[in-house]
Amino acid sequence: MTTEQTQNDTLAVLNPATGETVGRVHDHSGEEAAALVDAAQAGFEAWRATTPRHRSEVLTAAFLGMRAHADRLRDLIVAENGKSQADAAAEVSYASEFFRWYAEEAVRTPGDYTEAPAGGVRNVITRHPVGVAVLITPWNFPAAMATRKIGPALAAGCSVLLKPASETPLTAFAIAEILTEAGVPEGVVQVAASRSASTVVSAWLADDRVRKLSFTGSTGVGRRLLAQCAERVVNTSMELGGNAPFIVTAGADIDAAVEGAMLAKFRNGGQACTAANRFYVHQDVLGEFTEKFGAKIAALRVGDPAQGADIGPVITEKAAGEIRGLVQRAQERGAVIAARAELPADATAAFLAPTLLTGVPTDAEILSQEIFGPIAPVVAWTDLDAMIDLANAPEVGLSAYVYAGKLQTAMKIAERLEAGMVGVNRGIVSDPSAPFGGVKQAGIGREGGAFGMEEFTEVQYLSVDWS
């Protein structure tokens, strides 16, 4: 952005904890976005011609660059997203690991060489970069959702056009600078923020040179983008919404389950696609679990994360209002507030008190919606099959958690869950080395691990006459 740009050309980025403007970025028009594809195509042709070893070394430099700028990135995330400093620091570390992992994957692209069953032919199977890729990311992990896509795309030899969420574009621009410093050539990574996401993304998707869309965000927007991609049969990867069940059996280690519940529910203030959304706790341990979980919830320090609070605001006052509505309607159906943290006296309407809700009816709206905030609704169960049916009821199946003490019991339950990822006696599943993604309407494809790089490649097979 240049200083002579008027404020009409810019998008103000607000601190959700204070309402202050923390930065401005250029607001791209559709024409400006469309013009970026020329550079992206030129960047792709140059980048794909580099060696895997070179791409690996550039990604390693980017990993080290993220580490060197870790404090600055943490503060930027706190300022534009409102998560706690500890969560932001953990995100920077997690985000940088995608560059390290894909630096290592860049030199391990798999292939195959086989003999056709009838003989006389050899099949040579190779992978090639898919081309110019559009990446769309949400506001809840402004660094990690970007690097989880950029890392494998660059490793594979693609160029990328990144549209960050309008609430949190500053981190994306900072990462693009780090990539440039690391040696990524011009045109290979371009970032465009906009007040109108659909204008920018439609301009890109209309261009025949754009071959890939990798989207992370809500299932509703994902559906619309899939329809748009159908017009040109664009290769898509979709990381969409979640509604994770968190299951506690009678045999579980309750202290461990409570630790896991705190992580699964309150990391990022509950604003994670993997956040535990519904707690199914066996009747025999319900009292102990809710007492211990409630005590930890009540002890959370809510406030401005820049001042060291454990939990900040949710992203906007509008989001907070929607979550308050879910809690109120659950209470009207009989749910009870069993524990609640205190709000600071000067809390704005964007702050929500972390809350434990018990006695929630199994068909309450709060259990079928992605809450995306610090509210933990608990349902008691006694019949395993009926509980698993409830756990599998939503149309999305991203993640789930099971605490059952004995590993074999936990794994037997985990295998019956319709979820792409299950934390088994663990409250977190995200790992750069593992396939992240969901089943049903939670998405298509996987990010992370070797799977993440496959999403940015096309398979080609050469049928070679061997007679």
Q: What residues make contact with ligand NAP under the rule CB under 6 A?
A: 136-141, 145, 163, 165-167, 197-198, 201, 216-218, 221, 224-225, 239-242, 273, 370, 398, 438, 443
Closest CA to 274 of 152, 18, 69, 94: 94
Catalytic residue among 273, 418, 454, 455: 273
115 is catalytic: no
* Cβ distance to ligand NAP smaller for residue 256 or 444: 444
Rounded CA gap, 82 and 350, in Å?
Answer: 10
Give least dist CB 1 to ligand NAP, A: 17
Rounded CA gap, 150 and 138, in Å?
Answer: 14
DSSP state of 207: S
- The position carrying tokens 């400006």 is 32
* Cβ distance to ligand NAP smaller for residue 242 or 303: 242
229 is catalytic: no
Q: How many C-beta neighbours within 10 Å does residue 342 have?
A: 14
Counted residue by residue, the chain has a size of: 467
Give least dist CB 222 to ligand NAP, A: 7
- The position carrying tokens 């979550």 is 323
Give least dist CB 165 to ligand NAP, A: 4
In the structure encoding, which two tokens stand for residue 177, read together? 């600078």
Strand 276-282's sheet: what is its strand order?
336-340, 355-358, 375-381, 276-282, 244-248, 399-403, 421-424
* Amino acid type, 234: V
* Cβ distance to ligand NAP smaller for residue 141 or 403: 141
DSSP state of 267: G
* Cβ distance to ligand NAP smaller for residue 118 or 227: 227
Give least dist CB 221 to ligand NAP, A: 3
Give least dist CB 379 to ligand NAP, A: 21
Task: Select the residue whose beta carbon is closest to ligand NAP and give its number.
Answer: 217
* Cβ distance to ligand NAP smaller for residue 217 or 294: 217
Rounded CA gap, 100 and 424, in Å?
Answer: 26
Rounded CA gap, 18 and 82, in Å?
Answer: 9
SS (H, E, C) 24-45: EEECCCHHHHHHHHHHHHHHHH
* Cβ distance to ligand NAP smaller for residue 101 or 139: 139
User: Contact at 8 Å (CB) between 430 and 212?
Assistant: no
Give least dist CB 270 to ligand NAP, A: 11
Give least dist CB 228 to ligand NAP, A: 8
Give least dist CB 457 to ligand NAP, A: 20
Chain centroid to CA 79: 19
Q: How many C-beta neighbours within 10 Å does residue 399 have?
A: 30
* Cβ distance to ligand NAP smaller for residue 195 or 333: 195
Sequence-separated (6 or more) residues with CB below 8 Å from residue 66: 73, 92, 95, 96, 99, 147, 175, 178
Run of H or E residues at 465? strand 457-465
Catalytic residue among 239, 370, 418, 454: 239
* Cβ distance to ligand NAP smaller for residue 89 or 371: 371
Rounded CA gap, 312 and 426, in Å?
Answer: 24
Active site residues: 239, 273
